[in-house]
């Protein structure tokens, strides 16, 4: 039995957008983060995102992409 509060629609939309942008950022390393976020916003048509949400998505995308790039550039 679950006793936690159900997540709001805004939180779920932010998580979906965050995951899709991170996935696309890793797939296409040359695409700018701003462009990736804008494309996903057009596709998903979200109105519930705040400026803070966009900042967090941008930061998360940068961290994910940086971790992948470091793995590619490491010498073995």
Asked whether residue 33 is domain-assigned, the answer is yes
In tens, the pLDDT along 19-40 reads 999 998 888 888 888 888 888 8
Asked whether residue 1 is domain-assigned, the answer is no
Asked whether residue 3 is domain-assigned, the answer is no
Asked whether residue 51 is domain-assigned, the answer is yes
Across residues 38-61, what is the average pLDDT? 86
Asked whether residue 28 is domain-assigned, the answer is yes
Asked whether residue 48 is domain-assigned, the answer is yes
Angle formed at CA 36 by CA 41 and CA 62, multiple of 5 degrees: 120
Asked whether residue 41 is domain-assigned, the answer is yes
- What is the distance between the alpha carbons of residues 64 and 76, in angstroms, rounded to a whole number? 21
pLDDT exceeds cutoff 60 at 76: no
Cβ(61)–Cβ(26) below 8 Å? no
Asked whether residue 61 is domain-assigned, the answer is yes
Across residues 11-24, what is the average pLDDT? 89
How far are the Cα atoms of 2, 13, 15, 20, 53 from residue 5, in angstroms, in the given order? 9, 17, 16, 25, 21
Domain enclosing residue 57, as ranges = 9-73
Domain count across the chain: 1
């Amino acid at each position: 039995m679950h006793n936690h509060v159900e997540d709001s629609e805004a939180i779920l939309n932010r998580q979906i957008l965050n995951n899709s942008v991170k996935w696309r950022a890793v797939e296409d390393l040359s695409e700018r983060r701003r462009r990736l976020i804008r494309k996903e916003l057009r596709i998903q048509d979200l109105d519930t995102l705040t400026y803070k949400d966009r900042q967090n998505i941008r930061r998360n995308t940068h961290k994910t992409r940086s971790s992948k790039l470091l793995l590619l550039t490491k010498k073995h």
